[in-house]
Structure 1
Amino acid sequence: MADSSLLNHETLGTDTNPAIIIIHGLFGDKDNLKSVARELSENYFCILPDARNHGDSFHSDTMTYAAMAEDILNLANALEIEQFYLLGHSMGGKIAMETCMKAPDRIKAAIFADISPTAYEGTHDSIMEALSSLNISQVKSRGDADKQLAEKISEKGIRQFLLKNLQKTDNGYQWRLNLDALKHNYQLISAAVSKGQYSGPVLFIKGGNSNYLTEKHQQEVRSRFSNASVKVIEGTGHWLHAEKPRLFNRLVTEFLTE
């Protein structure tokens, strides 16, 4: 666990190119969107942070979107980047939205993957419960952990994604995630993004089978983003970037080069 107040991050590409900060979702880490970063890295300086309480970034009791947007701005400042693009999935999309509200002059354009600015009710309750009930002292291998999680999470792909957060230490296995902080702040993570206005170009990419971004969210989107367009990737759910990466990457690239 990093003890610095700067987000752990990785960069791809040349720092003389336009910068884009790419932010993962809840329970994820900087590797989640690396496929799109690799594709962009020829023409963009890609910065992939671990959000606070995720990956190898610092742990904190605070998980407000205002604080997490400040983390992104602090990272940009540390890298001496004045203006940049943003791409965020799910919780990362909300962090990106909050950053747009907080520092609109610094954001050239933004892409939000399968998320709206609104509050959501209990979308990850079952995952939170499954992770909390995992008896980590009984875990001798990832297979043990997978077997325990399978009792509550049937989809193997989701279990594999979550188990990336499990790391082996000299004293057995432990979570890289700050699970206590995520549980304690779950309502704040599910909350709406701050009111405000961002007039720069934004793209919302929706998973065709997902209900995270629907007609009912339109008013909240329009009230904050006056220059928004929407693309739908049919046949995908909330993890659209992993389900159809080539199409997702192409939509991102086309939007950035418009």
Structure 2
Amino acid sequence: MTSFNLETSYWTLQCPDYGQPDQYDDNYWMENMAKNVSENCGYMSCTVTDWPFADGSKGNGILANWGWAVSNTNENDMAKRREANTTEKVPKMQVFYRSSNFGTTGNLFTAANCTIATTYVEAGLNCNGWDCKVDRLRRSKKRETYPSTAYTIFDSGWRASMSSFLTNLVDTADNQLKESGTPGLLQEYIADPTKPFSGGQFKDLRDVGNETFAMRFSQLLNTYWSTAYNFNLTYGDLKFTKPFS
């Protein structure tokens, strides 16, 4: 039996502008984003890198036939997040999400304007051989040694990599949409995590509410990051016959 504490972090989202909010101009996005899909990216999807916005920020993400997932920020805000300590308030990176609710009354859409932040925690683990469980979790007491919670890995020269990250997430989670034209795991999980592979009709994601949407979307982001991008992560049923040399 072994017990130890581990410093780690995960992303959290807040999506106060959700559904079909007044702050969201669908005509602007359809003209600037969806038009780009049809003219430059073909029918299915297109990676967006450093897409210019009117306020001087740049967007990175993916445009698809069902909608888009795009982050945006500007260089000044990135620099503030890199330099700020955990107690300072600095602008967070934004993440925009839009999905078409095909098959619903009026073919409506779900739009969300979210902010992404990093939560630093200390996890307590108990292990019996390779069987480890987290049984304690609290906010890290070393918060003063970390950057601002507004800081994410994408601020460390990885901003454009948000394009590939979101693109790969959508390609992985919504491949079903490409193959069969029915909604994939991305939308299905947000609609109902207990039935992520149910298929069928597109769901009206406005029904889940902004807090639930933010939690489930962040779960998808964190899970995909951990399994596909976090090269220091070890998981699975691993057995070694001798120690590492």
Bucket of the pairwise TM-score, normalised by the shorter protein? under 0.3
TM-score (norm 2): 0.27
TM-score (norm 1): 0.26
Task: Report 1 or 2 for greater relative contact order, CA contacts < 8 Å, sequence distance ≥ 6.
Answer: 2
Q: Which has the larger radius of gyration?
A: 2
